[in-house]
A and B are shown apart, each in its own frame.
Chain A
Amino acid sequence: MLRIVVCVKAVPDPKEAGRIRIDPVSRALVRADLPLVLNPLDKNAMEAALELKEQFDAHLSVLSMGPPPAESVVTECLALGADQGYLLSDRALAGADAYATAYTLAKGIEKIGPADLVLCGRASSDGSTEWVGPELATLLDIPIVTMVKEIVECTGEWWKVKASLDNGYRVVRVKLPAVLTVTRELNIPRTLSFSGIIQARRKQITQWGIDDLDVPEEAVGLKGSPTIVSEMTTRESKRDVEMISGTREEMAERLIQELADAGFLSSS
């Protein structure tokens, strides 16, 4: 049986996340208490796992690290069709950078049991580092292909995938067990079904803290993070804006005049 682990992250709703701001005085984050949703690219990782589960006899676990409210995204993945859900949650895990996150997830995967395939979204919408997948693979000592946009062959020990590159793609053979990080091009994620939501109610989410994972406090969270945020600064604007007002037609005409005067409308 193919054993798949999908790593997911609960992120502030990307549609609202632009409203999170640094307070210029206190330097604290303002409006940081937005509702948490499943990271968009993790939906593609989930979809890939569900399609593999439909194709093969696969067991699908979902793993997330986050505060207790992050349970909602694990529940969502169970409703989508995952067999088991795990949430790594502990005060000591707070403030983790990509390395400490990858370390903790690796410990979680080791505890779940050997996985043939680990799937992650290419990046999270809030952190956007893209590091967790590759660092997780390194810590598990298994290979990784990042930015997978197509799974070409998925039988046997060596799989074949297409992964995005600057202006093109590469065709890669990768030996399982492996980590794949996926792009949006890979598939179109399914939406939640009513029966899935009902079934998810019967599934338990396993919650583990650092004692369950048997990791020292110094190795995780802020303490286990090689990088720190040393300074936050607000940014001043650089340009003097001229607001164009009037009716829609007047605004369009004014803008065209300004652009034409600057020489931008000379050719059609």
Chain B
Amino acid sequence: MKTVEYRHGPVWVIAEQIEGRVRAVSFQLIGHARKLADGLGTPVEVILLGESLDQQAQQVIASGADRVYLGDDPELAVYQPDVYTEIIVKLAQERRPEIMLLGSTFMGRELAPLVAARLRTGLTAHCIDLVLNENKILEQKVPAYGGLISITCPQKRPQMATVAKGVFPRPELDTGRMGEVVLLKVQKNIPRRIETIEIVREEPEGVPLESAAIIVAGGAGASDLEGWHTIAGLAQVMNAALGSTRPAVDEGWTELETMIGQSGKMVSPDLYIGVGLSGELQHMVGIVGAKVMVAINSDAKSPVFEQVDYGIVDDCRRFIPVLIEKIGEYRSEGRELNHGNQDER
């Protein structure tokens, strides 16, 4: 086997699978890892832990990986923190990756800091972009304070980051791509202090945010639970999914699952209506490629109005009920109109 010397260690992606299928965010990360690796002149290596994943390993290669470290064992079927961490840390100490990327999923958010602390390296949360600077250092872009900050990990390796689903596009599959699958020998005696007994999947109610054509999102401007229900009422009338900002979640008006943005969900609706929210970048980066954007906010100077197509300055608790009523009127008139047209025909 020929040996190639690389100046930099490989770019790693820790892939995540659910019930034997690699998740979309992992493929998206592999696509971006390919670009970073090409910039560094180094291979992309993917760590894939689970059970019966041969086919999936081929897809990972077709997505841009040069090498897949495959841990294929019933013990690894579901995420087990101690075992997963141990396998990844041991391999990282051997392979010395330059960069390590994980999805900002529930697993990634726990596993990434467990690995980072063991390797005594830095970790950046929920990045919205990752680029190499002129010194080949990874600039990890994160929204903060109405702007973007760039976080780097200049000394320690690997440079680690988590990224939400939807930040990077899914790479096209190149089924002709060649890559190597390295089977990991799974150590049987890793001591477990935590054991996942059961995973329960719950189907979310209503229109799922990620695939919704229309999203109504509410924020702190709802003021109270009643105000929040008013906003939820607009979502219902518009046949829209209901989204939220962090303050709305913190206030307890809605669940974390509805949060849109950097540390929540990335969405791409045709129409987005932001109600009682200030256009914080952490939220706004979660809305990708919306065709039409509307904001309703009582503060005329709110930064949200610089980021939408239509703006209305009003207290949402008073405006939304009027809007809902007018939509009802519009629809009933519309129906009469259509009815009239049919009569003519």
Interface residues of A (CB under 8 A from B): 14-15, 18, 20-22, 29, 40-41, 97-99, 102, 123, 125, 128-131, 133-135, 137-139, 142-147, 160, 164-175, 178, 183-185, 225-235, 237-245, 248-249, 251-253, 255-256, 258-260, 262, 264-265, 267-268
Q: What is the distance, in angstroms, from A264's C-beta to the closest C-beta of chain B? A: 5
Q: Which B66-111 residues have a C-beta within 8 angstroms of A? A: 78-79, 81-82, 105-107, 109-110
CA distance A118 to B128 in the complex (A): 31
Q: Which residues of A contact B185 (CB under 8 A)?
A: none
The residues of B that contact A147 with a CB separation of less than 8 Å are 106, 109-110
Q: Given the complex, which residues of A lie within 8 Å of B152, measured CB to CB?
A: 227-228, 230
Q: Is B125's CB under 8 angstroms from A128's CB?
A: yes
Q: Once A and B bind, how many residue pairs between them come within 8 Å at the CB atom?
A: 251
Shortest Cβ distance from B228 into chain A, in angstroms?
Answer: 15
B343 in contact (CB, < 8 A) = no
B323 touches A99 (CB 8 A): no
In the assembled complex, B201 has its CB within 8 A of some CB on chain A: yes
Residue numbers in A under 8 Å from B122 (CB-CB): 97, 99, 225-227
Q: A102-B117, A241-B311 are in contact. Are A22 and B200 (CB under 8 A)?
A: no
Residues A237 and B150 in contact in the complex (CB < 8 Å), given A22-B145, A171-B197: no
Among B107, B121, B194, contact of A174 (Cβ-Cβ < 8 Å): B194
- CB-contact partner of B139 in A99, A102, A143, A230, under 8 A: A230
> Shortest beta-carbon distance, A176 to chain B, in Å?
9
**Which residues of B sit under 8 angstroms from A178, Cβ to Cβ?**
193-194
Size category of the binding interface on chain B: 35 or more
A interface, over-half SS: mixed
- Output the least CB separation between B27 and chain A (Å): 16
Name the segment of B30-38, B153-161, B168-176 touching the other chain. Answer: B153-161
Q: Give residues of chain B (102-148) contacting chain A, Cβ–Cβ below 8 Å.
A: 105-107, 109-110, 112-114, 116-118, 120-126, 139, 143-148
Instruction: Tell me if B271 and A255 are in contact (CB < 8 A).
Output: no
Among A144, A227, A249, chain B packs the most CB atoms within 10 A around the CB of A227
Residues of B within 8 A of A99 (CB): 116-117, 120-123
Q: Are the CB atoms of B106 and A166 closer together than 8 Å?
A: yes
Please, how many angstroms separate the alpha-carbon atoms of A257 and B152 in the complex?
47
Q: Which residue of B lies closest to A145 (CB)?
A: B194
List which B301-331 residues lie within 8 A (CB) of chain A.
303, 305-314, 318-319, 322-323, 325-327, 330-331
Instruction: Kindly report which residue of chain A lies nearest to residue B270, judged by CB atoms.
Output: A264
A149 CB, min distance to chain B CBs, angstroms: 10
Q: Report the 4 A-B pairs with minimum CB-CB distance, sorted nearest first.
A: A226-B122, A237-B306, A227-B122, A138-B117
Interface presence of B294 (CB below 8 A) = yes
- Known A-B contacts A99-B123, A167-B201, A229-B149; A134 and B114 likewise in contact (beta carbons under 8 Å): yes
A132 to B262, CA, bound (A): 18
The smallest C-beta distance from A151 to any residue of chain B, in angstroms, reads 14
* Chain A proximity of B111: nearest CB distance (Å): 8
Q: Is the CB of B150 within 8 A of A166?
A: no
User: Does B180 make an interface contact (CB < 8 A)?
Assistant: no
Produce 1/0 per residue, B215-228, CB < 8 A to A: 00000100000000
A235 to B151, CA, bound (A): 16
A267 to B112, CA, bound (A): 44
Q: By the criterion CB–CB under 8 Å, are A231 and B149 in contact?
A: yes
Report whether A244 and B311 are in contact in the complex, using a CB–CB cutoff of 8 Å. yes
When the two chains form their complex, are residues B252 and A184 in contact, meaning their CB atoms are under 8 A apart?
Answer: yes
Q: Is B193 a contact partner of A232 (Cβ separation < 8 A)? A: no
Q: Which of B2-10, B46-54, B57-65, B242-250 contacts A (4 or more CB under 8 A)?
A: B242-250
- A160 to B156 alpha-carbon distance, docked (Å): 36
Asked, given contacts A125-B250, A143-B82, A143-B193, whether A232 binds B156 with beta carbons under 8 Å apart, the answer is no
A15:B247 contact, CB within 8 angstroms:
yes
Least CB separation from A248: chain B residue: B322
When the two chains form their complex, are residues A125 and B246 in contact, meaning their CB atoms are under 8 A apart?
yes
Given contacts A138-B113, A146-B109, whether A265 and B201 have CB atoms under 8 Å apart is: no
B202, CB-defined interface residue at 8 Å: yes
- Between-chain CB contacts (< 8 Å), 14 pairs: A15-B247, A99-B116, A99-B120, A125-B246, A131-B125, A135-B113, A170-B79, A170-B197, A171-B198, A228-B153, A243-B311, A256-B330, A259-B271, A260-B330
Q: How far is the CA of A91 from the CA of B117 in the complex (A)?
A: 24
- Tell me how far the C-beta of A102 lies from the nearest C-beta in chain B, rounded to whole angstroms: 7
How far apart are A156's CB and chain B's nearest CB, in angstroms? 14
Contact partners of A102 in chain B: CB under 8 A: 117
| CB <8 Å contact, B291 and A262 | yes
B278 on interface, CB distance cutoff 8 Å = yes
Question: How far is A268 from B201 in the complex, measured between Cα atoms in Å?
Answer: 31
CA–CA, A239 and B306, complex, Å:
6
- B118 and A231 within 8 A (CB): no
Chain B residues near A146: list those with CB within 8 A: 106, 109-110
Contact partners of A248 in chain B: CB under 8 A? 314, 318-319, 322
User: Considering the chains assembled together, what is the distance between the CA atoms of A102 and B152 in angstroms?
Assistant: 19
Q: How far is the CA of A73 from the CA of B125 in the complex (A)?
A: 25
A73 to chain B, nearest CB (A): 16
CA distance A129 to B310 in the complex (A): 33
- Flag if B196 contacts A170 (CB, 8 Å): yes
Known contacts: A144-B114, A173-B197, A233-B148. The answer to whether A226 contacts B331 by CB under 8 A is no
Residues from chain A with a CB closer than 8 A to the CB of B344 are none
Instruction: Tell me whether B146 and A235 are in contact (CB under 8 A).
Output: yes
